[in-house]
């Protein structure tokens, strides 16, 4: 290439609910280690939006849903805690991302995390606190 350049311009308002609508998703918090009841939340996600965006939206609209994450330089966002429960290296605990696809579909473990996973309409996101 000699002198050919391209510019990607990201403009707020492009690919938003107004243009493409939003999709409902459910998010369930499961603690496989403690005897705690599951907590299920509902939110919307913009067309082709990432799970992290939906989680941020849920946090803004529901004070009962809280989460923290760290940004890994090579791998992106890493979920640390949900509703005050944090993973712990010494105890070999972490938050596992699972997805029940569609309505009553099979449960999968995506090969990407919260910063890259793009939920489909009616996906049921499961954040499962477990051991490795």
Q: What is the pLDDT of residues 60-110, one digit of tens each?
A: 999 999 999 999 999 999 999 999 999 999 999 999 999 999 777 899 999
Model confidence pLDDT, tens digit, residues 97-129: 999 997 778 999 999 999 999 998 888 999 999
- Beta-carbon contacts of residue 30 (< 8 Å; ≥ 6 apart): 38, 126, 127, 128, 129
Judge whether 40 and 26 are in contact, CB under 8 Å. Answer: yes
pTM: 0.82
Q: How many CB atoms lie within 10 A of CB 111?
A: 7
pLDDT at 14 over 50: no
């Amino acid at each position: 290439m000699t002198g050919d350049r391209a510019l990607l311009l990201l403009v707020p308002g492009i690919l938003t609910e107004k243009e493409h609508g939003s999709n409902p998703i459910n998010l369930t918090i499961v603690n496989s280690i403690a005897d705690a009841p599951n907590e299920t939340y509902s939110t919307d996600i913009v067309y082709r939006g990432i799970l992290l965006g939906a989680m941020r939206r849920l946090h803004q609209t529901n004070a009962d849903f809280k989460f923290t994450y760290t940004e890994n330089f090579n791998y992106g966002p890493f979920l640390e805690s949900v509703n005050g429960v944090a993973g712990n290296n010494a105890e070999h605990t972490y938050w596992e991302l699972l997805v029940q696809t569609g309505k009553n579909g099979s449960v999968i473990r995506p090969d990407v995390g919260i910063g890259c996973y793009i939920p489909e309409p009616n996906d049921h996101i499961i954040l499962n606190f477990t051991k490795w």
